[in-house]
Each structure stands twice: as structure tokens, then as C-alpha cells.
Amino acid sequence: MNERYLELSLGRARVLETGSGTPLLMLHGMGLSNSANTFDTIAPLLATRYRVIAPDLLGFGKGTRTVEDGPTFELMVEHLRELMDTLELARAVVVGHSMGGWTGVHLAYQSPDRVAKLVLLNAAGLNAQIAPGIGGLSEVPALEALRAQVHREFRDKAKAADALVDRIARTQHEMLSQPNALRSLDPLLRIMQSPALRARVLLHRRIGRVKAPALVVWGTGDPMDPYPTWNEEYERLGGDMSRSTKPWVIPGARHVRFDTGHYTHWEQPEALARLITEFVG
């Protein structure tokens, strides 16, 4: 992955890029340790067919961590639009994991001309209650504690090879050690943790109005809401989510489950890359 930095109106953005062809804009999830590097396992597989572009979202990773009155979803989406303009991307296939999917739906809803297709990986933004364990930290955890946390994220422990777990944990430790990292997401956490503020940015009203062709992927073992409910609905309908009347359904979207936890791209990168390739074309 080639690394470069862009100076944008709201701050510096770090971008990891590899491959050529149709652009895939990969958006990572929430967490003080999260960054574009969450896609290190799958980006090389997708780069054989596509131009993979993975930015650190505003307030994350090695980009600008301290943002006045932010980060917020509004500012993150505006940061992404300017990033696309700077990279001369009129449109892109947006692939978002967890909060990255939440952000991607906001982008698709607000700027439908910028999103050619949408891939949601274990996307957040539909559960009324905040998921546990994403709050602030008072200090950078020891590397061994991060390794243990990464290992717990794997539903299939056979996939949690020591080298992979160590690489992910070391990258997370590096992101947590960036200046101002431990307080960088306080404004976003406040939005997520306040019922009134959270309700303003949830996807229930927006996701059903997404016009882009969509692929929705989640793990059967993803403990975060609403996926246990999704599993019940999926099984009740025999996998035909087009029959669902729930507010999470994008009209015409394809829904696929993997036997993974919350990080499908860590546990099943090859199978997920094949699925994305089949969808994007």
C-alpha cells in the first residue's frame, strides 16, 4: 500500500492506495485505534482488479486527530467529498466497515452522484443504543492487551494466526500513540452516546432511500446490534431480505452472511474479496 498525505480544508488526511481500475473507497470503522490499515488483509486481494483507496477518516489514524467542533458525521462526509475532489474521483464504489458503513450511507444519501455502488460490511448506524466498548481510554493499552482484544474479535479462532493478530495489534498501538489520539473522538462519542444526538444521525430514515446498488454483508457471530435481530429476520425469511419490512433494508440490495464476527474482512478476506469483485464487476 502506498501512503500519502493530503492537506484538506478540515485537516490532513492520510491515504493508503494500491492497484488500478475502478476506484474502491474503503472506509474504516469506529475506535481510537482504528484506521485505514484495518483493510490491510483485503486490500491486496482487491487491488488485482481495482484502485483501492483507504483514507483515515477525519479525527482517526495518522491524519488530523484534533478538529474544532468535530469530528462529526457531517464533517467526516464533507472531508470525504473534498478528498474525492482532490483525487479527481467523480464517483467511487464505497466500501464501509462498521461506522465506515454508517458514514458511507450518509455520503450516498447526501451525494448520490458520488457513490456508484455501496458495500456495507457489518455496518453500524441502525442500533438505537451505542455498542459497548468503544468509549474513550485514559491511557494507551499495552501491546499484549491489544493482542488479546484482537484475538477476541475472531469468531473462528483458527483464523487468528499469531502473525496476523500481532500485526493488527501493533498497528492499533501505533494509532493510539499518535498525538492527541486518546481525546480525538470525544465529540463523535458524545453524538453516539447521547440518545437525542444519536437519533439525528441514525440511518433508519436514510438507508431506505439509497439509490446506489448495494451489497450488505454481516457476520452471523457479530455481537453488535442489530445483527442478532438481522439473523432472526434472515432465517425467518429464508434469506430473502427483500421481503423484510424493517427499516434497515435498501431496496434491491443483496444480503450475504458470513460465519464471522464483526471483522469479516479479517476472518474471510479471500471469500469477501471474491464477493465484492462479483458485485462490482
Query: Tens of pLDDT along 130-152?
Result: 766 666 788 999 999 999 999 99
Confidence grade of residue 229 (pLDDT, cut at 50, 70, 90): confident
Question: Residue 225: pLDDT above 80?
Answer: no
Backbone angles phi, psi at 12, to 5 degrees: -80, 140
pLDDT at residue 135 in the model = 65
Question: Residue 127: pLDDT above 90?
Answer: no
pLDDT at residue 212 in the model = 97
pLDDT at residue 137 in the model = 82
Average pLDDT over residues 66-70: 90
Mean pLDDT for all residues in the chain: 94
pLDDT tens-digit profile of 81-103?
999 999 999 999 999 999 999 99
Domain boundaries, the chain: 2-138+182-280
* Grid cell at residue 228: 442478532
pLDDT at residue 132 in the model = 65
Give dist(CA 192, CA 108) in Å, integer.
20
Question: Residue 47: pLDDT above 70?
Answer: yes
Q: Which of 83, 77, 61 is nearest to 180 (CA)?
A: 61
Give dist(CA 170, CA 161) in Å, integer.
14
- Of all residues in the chain, what percent are helix, strand and coil, respectively (each to 5)? 40, 20, 40
CATH for the stretch 2-138+182-280:
3.40.50.1820
Question: Residue 246: pLDDT above 90?
Answer: no
Average pLDDT over residues 44-63: 98
Helix (H) or strand (E) holding 55, with range, is strand 51-55
pLDDT at residue 134 in the model = 66
- Least confident residue range of 68-77, 85-94, 103-112, 226-235: 226-235
* Grid cell at residue 22: 475502478
Whole-model pTM: value is: 0.96
pLDDT at residue 166 in the model = 98
